[in-house]
Amino acid sequence: MVYLDHNASSPLRPEVNAAMQPFHAERFGNPSSVHGAGRASRQGIDEARRRLAEQLGVHDSQIIFTSGGTEANNAALFGQAARHGFQGHILISAIEHPSVLQCCERLRRYGMEISRVGVDGSGRVQLDALQAQLRSKTILVAVMHANNETGVLQEVEPLAQICRARGIPLLCDAVQSFGKVDIPFTEWNLSLLALSAHKLGGPKGVGALVVDKALAFEPLLSGGGQERGRRSGTENVPGIVGFGLAAALAGTERVVRVKQWRQWQQQLEQRLQEAVPEIQIAGQGVARLANTSAFLIPGVHGETLVMSLDLEGVAISSGSACGSGRSRPSPVMLEMGYDPELASSMIRISMGWSTTQDEMERLTESLIKGIKRLLHW
Amino acid sequence: MAYNDKVLDHYENPRNVGSLDKDDPNVGTGMVGAPACGDVMKLQIRVDDQGVIADAKFKTFGCGSAIASSSLVTEWLKGKSLDEALSIKNQQIADELALPPVKIHCSVLAEDAIKTAISDYRNKQKGAESV
Amino acid sequence: MKKPIYMDYQATTPMDPRVLDEMLPWFVEKFGNPASRSHAYGWEAEQAVEKAREQVAALIHADPREIVFTSGATESNNLAIQGVARFYQDKGRHIITPVTEHKAVLDTCRHLESEGFTVTYLPVKADGLIDLELLAATITDETILVSVMAGNNEIGVLQPLEAIGRLCRQKKVLFHCDAAQGAGKMVLDVEAMQIDLMSLSGHKLYGPKGIGALYVRRRPRVRLKPIIHGGGHERGMRSGTLATPLLVGLGKACELAGAEMNAENQRLLGLRQRLLDGICSRLTHVQLNGSLEHRLAGNLNLSFGFVEGESMMMAIKDVAVSSGSACTSASLEPSYVLRALGVSEEQAHTSIRFGLGRFTTEEEIDFTANLVVDAVNRLREMSPLWEMVQEGIDIASIQWAGHH
């Protein structure tokens, strides 16, 4: 089977799986317990926290473990909104992940003002457009780092500077970019950063929110006071241990992997454009993740192409994987200015740690064959 | 919480557990703390003719750090004059046992116990003189 | 016999090897995102998730469609209470919960108070049970939710769920039950008990950490405002990618617990009695905290007079137990649960929770009883309070110097 849907989920790395094993069985204690069994679990969490902090250049205490990227985004938005008594304005980019968009819809019902800053044809937020939409009562700005569908990277560092100058915290959803791009949290003046483990070879069910030391924070979940009172609930110890190692491995291997992905990405895009000249690549020409390519293929229905490839044992995606299973043109493509019909033709190829040359060859072949069949060539 | 080796040593091999005759005029008794707070320390000293602490005993109801703090001060007290004993500060006890911040109050209690025991002894001596 | 002996099953349980075996393939080979509808990896994961949903539902006699997966019981409790409060706030803004609930319930209620809700923290009787008449009298037209736990995490006391359910239904008030400790250890039937919402935890019933569930009744339909928004997973009630291996583990854990519950409870009751007899036949001044009759089979909470709990834990360090709730271990305050029973602060400081479970053996029980007896005797020799009692002094009559 050829698996090229890593932006939906990456397989768990075997070494990460191995590191998690002891925490399933013999090191099972509750990390809040004072006895040895509890301390053995606590050590695992401490080590994971240290590893994660090291990747981001932050202090250990700035990492809050969560049940995933969705919770991290919700905790960040809710945490800031609650701190301001659910009053004020939040500015988000129009192409945020549903966990940011939907959470903001709820905050709007609470009486907050929400506005969206659009993206240009390449999928990027324009700095001056964002600056123009800031208000005196803006309490938070949310702009994702890499888009899940296109891999297009936002200019987070200058964005953060603009926000910092106005004293407004910036939430950056780095679920897709973490481990694939360097993110020096402190150096970039970030305030809140959302991360997920299963997009980089870690386990599902664990993520993290990184918080600026000086930023006050209201918790989303109340209870036993774990994570310094910022996220209650018994910690998913094996998951956290796996996350820490996956992050460390991704960091160590990043340079080599990115180089490899970039090469495969170029080959794939080039061969597809040669075979089907009218094909378009979303975000071509701007900074993008090396592992992601989003193609728009006039005359093809993306979902149908994905299904036909699945029959051949090739897993790709026609948009973001989300809970409802509906098939609609990708909102991200629409925001980038593509018409609904072209937007519906979008397919996404996303590589990951397990991707091989052979997989890319088979994908390219199947893809060209599949497109030609659908276009009745 | 993981305890320091010195705390564990005093806890597992407490020095000078026991009681002296509290009615003996040469014995001073200090009982500090309260059961509701989770710590009660009883510290007793016997002072010889030269005004030197010849013996010290303790009994403690409390956590490992409270037991270790009282055990440690009984060792320190023996052979000291009363003024030397009064110069023992809680910080020295906390440092010696490497107590974590949540356990500092144990060292405070031990310092209080020393002061109370010495004051009890001095009161008894004053009472004896005035008779 | 392996040491240290684990006797803290209310803090967390080791995973059953049968659960782990079921989970392992889902970590590596079968890694698809259950929300990916367009390829076989996703479908396979989705099927596993649905099977798990059926297994969880079966344990509490619910319909699989009534199960919402969460990251754990803390999230389930937050979702149930906040979700109901926010959805039904136009109907009323009053919530009732006993003072002995888990922090995840109490802190959520406190949080809602800051948003203008009124919360009545219901006192409990000396045995830890709520007073049904008092509950009935506390419900007003403004009341929208009653939240009562199945089994208490510190003292194991079981509340009369069926009677509470009947009362709530009659008064048209929603009933949420935190069954993190009860699920898999007592018969829970959401129909018979008329429970509208129920929180479950994976790691308290030999399943994985980081996973839980919330039962949400469909008929009559209970509605919630979600707290985690996003891709619209879990029928919009809880977004976020589901961790397939954890769900598979939770499902299997529920299946095993349901199948083995009766036999296991009989076995645990025997072990608990053996521990209690082993200790009380050789020590005086030992008090049981909470009802013995209405209690989880795997819980024993004892106060050893004149012996402080933490030093007791050190003295029996070959046995992992807890003194007070695991979640509050960093604080020096005596357990709020014991205080709510009317237990004095002094007695609360001397309490030890023994949590027995699936892997506890008779040999471990005997070893523990002997160790406890020796430790208490040794520590009492060191205790000034014990000395006073031996001398016939009434400790209660003494004026102690100020609290610190």
Q: How far is C171 from chain B (nearest CA, A)?
A: 41
Distance, CA of C91 to CA of C144 (rounded, Å): 7
**Which chains border B (3 or more CB–CB pairs < 8 Å)?**
C
DSSP letters of C133-174? Answer: HHHHHH--TTEEEEE--SB-TTT-BBP-HHHHHHHHHHTT-E
User: Average pLDDT of C201-216?
Assistant: 97
How sure is the predictor about C327, in pLDDT bands with cuts at 50, 70 and 90?
very low
pLDDT of amino acid C232: 73
Among partner residues C36, C75, C317, which is closest to A8 by beta-carbon distance? C36
List pLDDT tens digits, range C209-267: 999 999 999 999 999 999 988 877 788 788 887 789 999 999 999 999 999 999 999 99
Could you tell me if C156 and C184 are in contact, meaning their C-beta atoms sit under 8 angstroms apart? no
| Domain segments of chain A as ranges | 2-8+254-374, 14-249
Look up C168 and say whether it is catalytic. no
List pLDDT tens digits, range A293-306: 999 999 999 989 99
Distance, CA of B85 to CA of B55 (rounded, Å): 13
Establish if B96 belongs to a structural domain: yes
Are the Cβ atoms of A223 and C102 closer than 8 angstroms? yes
Which residues of chain C lie closer than 8 angstroms to B8, CB-CB?
314
List pLDDT tens digits, range B90-131: 999 999 999 988 889 999 999 999 999 999 999 999 887 665
Omega within 30 of 0 (cis) for the link into C4 = yes
Res A324 pLDDT > 80: no
Res A325 pLDDT > 60: no
Among partner residues A33, A68, A323, which is closest to C234 by beta-carbon distance? A323
CB burial of A210-223 (b: ≥16 within 10 Å; e: otherwise) equals bbbeeeebbbbbbb
Q: Which of C5, C16, C21, C27 to mutate to test the interface with A (most CBs of A within 10 A)?
A: C27
Could you tell me if A113 and A90 are in contact, meaning their C-beta atoms sit under 8 angstroms apart? yes
List pLDDT tens digits, range A249-290: 999 999 999 999 999 999 999 999 999 999 999 999 999 999
Distance, CA of C139 to CA of C158 (rounded, Å): 21
pLDDT of amino acid C332: 54
| Cα Rg, chain B, nearest whole Å | 14
How sure is the predictor about A322, in pLDDT bands with cuts at 50, 70 and 90?
very low
User: Average pLDDT of A92-103?
Assistant: 95
List pLDDT tens digits, range C330-382: 455 678 999 999 998 888 889 999 999 999 999 999 999 999 999 999 999 99
Number of structural domains, chain B?
A: 1
Look up the domain containing B74 and give its range. 5-124
Res A214 pLDDT > 50: yes
Task: Give me the CATH number covering residue B95.
Answer: 3.90.1010.10
Which residues of chain C lie closer than 8 angstroms to B60, CB-CB?
382-384
How sure is the predictor about A328, in pLDDT bands with cuts at 50, 70 and 90?
confident
Cβ pairs bridging A and C (under 8 Å): 276
Establish if B130 belongs to a structural domain: no
Are the Cβ atoms of B66 and C387 closer than 8 angstroms? no
Choose the catalytic residue: C109, C254, C280, C327.
C327
DSSP type of residue A10:
P
Which residues of chain A lie closer than 8 angstroms to C245, CB-CB?
203-204
Nearest CA in chain C to A225: C327
> Nearest to residue C382, comparing CAs of B18, A291, A111, A106?
B18
Q: Which of C241, C314, C318, C323 to mutate to test the interface with A (most CBs of A within 10 A)?
A: C241
Mean residue pLDDT across chain B:
92
Are the Cβ atoms of B105 and C404 closer than 8 angstroms? yes
Cα dihedral: C95, C96, C99, C102 (round 10): -60
List pLDDT tens digits, range C67-125: 999 999 999 999 999 999 999 999 999 999 999 999 999 999 999 999 899 999 999 99
Q: How far is A98 from chain C (nearest CA, A)?
A: 5
User: Average pLDDT of A188-217?
Assistant: 95
**Structure tokens of C337?**
């649960």
Res B66 pLDDT > 90: yes
Establish if B25 belongs to a structural domain: yes
Distance, CA of B119 to CA of B58 (rounded, Å): 16
Mean residue pLDDT across chain C:
92
Res C325 pLDDT > 60: no
What is the identity of the amino acid at C102?
Answer: H
pLDDT of amino acid B25: 94
Establish if B57 belongs to a structural domain: yes
**Structure tokens of A239?**
């998951």
Instruction: Give Cβ neighbours of residue C354 (< 8 Å, ≥ 6 apart).
Output: C7, C275, C299, C300, C301, C302, C321, C368
Are the Cβ atoms of B66 and C307 closer than 8 angstroms? no
List pLDDT tens digits, range B14-54: 999 999 999 999 999 999 998 888 899 999 999 999 999 99
Domains of chain C: 5-10+261-393 (3.90.1150.10), 17-257 (3.40.640.10)
Which residues of chain B lie closer than 8 angstroms to C402, CB-CB?
34
Which residues of chain A lie closer than 8 angstroms to C327, CB-CB?
32, 223-226
The neighbour count for residue A328, using CB atoms within 10 Å, is 12
pLDDT of amino acid C233: 79
Percent pLDDT > 90 in chain C is: 79
Res A373 pLDDT > 70: yes
Domain A14-249 belongs in CATH node 3.40.640.10 = yes
How sure is the predictor about C65, in pLDDT bands with cuts at 50, 70 and 90?
very high
Which residues of chain B lie closer than 8 angstroms to C400, CB-CB?
33-36, 40
Are the Cβ atoms of C233 and A322 closer than 8 angstroms? yes
Provide the sign of the torsion angle of the four alpha carbons A288, A290, A294, A295, taken in this order: positive
Among partner residues C311, C345, C387, which is closest to B67 by beta-carbon distance? C311
Are the Cβ atoms of A71 and C229 closer than 8 angstroms? no
Provide the sign of the torsion angle of the four alpha carbons A50, A51, A54, A55, taken in this order: negative
Are the Cβ atoms of C349 and B36 closer than 8 angstroms? yes
Give the predicted TM-score (pTM) of the model: 0.87
pLDDT of amino acid B128: 72
User: Average pLDDT of A192-218?
Assistant: 95
Establish if B42 belongs to a structural domain: yes
Establish if B131 belongs to a structural domain: no
List pLDDT tens digits, range C266-323: 999 999 999 999 999 999 999 999 999 999 999 999 999 999 988 999 999 999 999 8
Among partner residues C107, C233, C320, which is closest to A37 by beta-carbon distance? C320
If residue A103 lies in a helix (H) or strand (E), which one and from where to where? Answer: helix A98-109
Among partner residues B14, B37, B61, which is closest to C404 by beta-carbon distance? B37
Instruction: Give Cβ neighbours of residue A169 (< 8 Å, ≥ 6 apart).
Output: A80, A139, A140, A141, A163, A191, A192, A212, A215
Q: How far is C401 from chain B (nearest CA, A)?
A: 6
Which CATH number describes the domain made up of A2-8+254-374? 3.90.1150.10
Cβ pairs bridging B and C (under 8 Å): 81
Per mean pLDDT, which range of B42-51, C41-50, C128-137 is the poorest? Answer: C41-50
Q: Which of A7, A234, A237 to mutate to test the interface with C (most CBs of C within 10 A)?
A: A234
Among partner residues C14, C37, C240, which is closest to A67 by beta-carbon distance? C240
Strand arrangement, sheet containing B27-34: B27-34, B39-47, B53-61
Q: How far is B14 from chain C (nearest CA, A)?
A: 9
Distance, CA of C321 to CA of C8 (rounded, Å): 5
Strand arrangement, sheet containing A280-281: A280-281, A292-296, A347-350
Q: How far is A328 from chain C (nearest CA, A)?
A: 13
If residue C215 lies in a helix (H) or strand (E), which one and from where to where? Answer: strand C212-216
pLDDT of amino acid C279: 98
Nearest CA in chain C to A315: C39
Nearest CA in chain C to B109: C404
pLDDT of amino acid C215: 98
